[in-house]
Amino acid sequence: MTIQEFKADFQEKCSPHFSHDEIQSFWQWFKENLESLSHSIEIETEYKKWLSELMSGKPIQYIFGYSFFHKYCFEVTSDTLIPRPETEELCELILKANLNSPLTGIDIGTGSGCIPITLLCERSNWEFKALDISKEALKVADRNTKKYQLSNRLALVNQNFLENNLSVNNYDIIVSNPPYIHPEEKDLIANRVTHFEPHMALFVTNNILEFYIALFDYFAQNTNPNAQLWMETHQDYCDDVVVLFNKKFTAKKIEDLSKNPRFVNVVK
Ligand SMILES: C[S@@+](CC[C@H](N)C(=O)[O-])C[C@H]1O[C@@H](n2cnc3c(N)ncnc32)[C@H](O)[C@@H]1O
């Protein structure tokens, strides 16, 4: 089959299931990956496999094992969340607020490592730690760290952030996009998310604010004077996070590009 024949077949099979824009976008992924294969038997086999995965609802990023984020391309697997556009916005906010000064920071719940790797690629005088409870996610973060040659500035740590056994540090900046969905919301979330993305990355166990309460204590005890904390939040609980942090620090709510309350920035 020629690439044009694959395209015609792809459009015909996808049109009952996806919008015109989705088909256009998915086809670009298919085309790029088909063109990277050389043997015709392999091309047809892979094409069929990818198409059946797409029809099963599997996100395109998991089918091909990568995701675009900010200016970069990260490996993702079923052990890591697919990085979201809102999180790109979080990185932009942090970069805009911090131009030249050297900073030492930590990313709590790093997944693929997309946040610290983006920040370190953009700021050559910063150093970060990246913590995650998932060993498998950290293997992916490690490969992404090596891809961008950041092993000398990014240390990966396998730890449960909710347990009180973290070593004491003096960070200038803490960043986190923690799990922030209550299990009761599960039925409201798209199947492609709940069926394919790691639940450990999405859901809290019971208290919707549990990570933010832990971040409050961690920020109080492990940062320098004038330190900053940047968090992504659930739009319905952004105000609660602001109230929590304003008890001791100065916290402000920031909307995402869709005008939803999404981020909280705290200064000591
Ligand atoms: C919402 S995902 C964010 C991933 C990545 N930072 C991003 O923005 O794409 C939350 C991450 O927190 C990790 N996580 C969940 N519970 C944790 C815990 N108790 N301690 C440390 N990390 C945890 C998950 O494994 C997941 O990688």
Question: pLDDT tens string for the chain (268 positions)?
Answer: 889 999 999 999 999 999 999 999 999 999 999 999 888 788 999 999 999 999 999 999 999 999 999 999 999 999 999 999 999 999 999 999 999 899 999 999 999 999 999 999 999 999 999 999 999 999 999 999 999 999 999 999 999 999 977 888 999 999 999 999 999 998 999 988 999 999 999 999 989 999 999 999 999 999 999 999 999 999 999 999 999 999 999 999 999 999 999 999 999 9
Residue 42 is predicted with a pLDDT of 86
pLDDT value at position 116? 98
Ligand 1 centroid vs 31 CA: distance in angstroms? 32
Identify the CA nearest to 27 among candidates 60, 69, 58.
60
How much is the pLDDT for 228?
98
192 Cβ contact partners less than 8 Å away, ≥ 6 residues apart:
57, 58, 59
Q: Taking CB atoms and a 6 Å cutoff, what residues make up the pocket around ligand 1?
A: 81, 83, 87, 109-112, 114-115, 131-134, 137, 160-162, 177-179, 200-201
* E strand or H helix at 37: none
Q: What is the DSSP string of 148-167?
A: TT-TTTEEEEE--TTSS-PP
- Which of 69, 77, 129, 134 has most ligand 1 atoms within 8 Å of CB, for mutation? 134
The whole-model pTM stands at 0.96
- Tokens found for residue 154: 């990014």
Strands 66-69 and 72-75, bridge-based pairing: antiparallel
Cα separation, 134 vs 206, in Å, equals: 19
Distance 226 CA to ligand 1 centre (A): 26
Report the separation in Å between the CA atom of 208 and the middle of ligand 1, taken as the mean of its atom positions: 14
**Residue 178 CA, ligand 1 centroid: distance in Å:** 5
Distance 78 CA to ligand 1 centre (A): 13
Report the pLDDT value the prediction gives residue 172, as an integer from 0 to 100: 98
What distance in Å separates the CA atoms of residue 215 and residue 166, rounded to the nearest whole number? 12
Q: What is residue 100's predicted lDDT score, i.e. its pLDDT?
A: 84
Q: How far is CA 81 from CA 19, 74, 110, 140, in A?
A: 24, 11, 9, 11
- Which helix (H) or strand (E) segment is 174 a member of? strand 171-176
Burial of residue 56 (number of CB atoms within 10 Å: 0-12, 13-18, 19+): exposed
pLDDT on residue 41: 82
Q: Which atom of ligand 1 is nearest to the CA of 83?
A: 9
Q: What is the pLDDT of residue 168?
A: 85
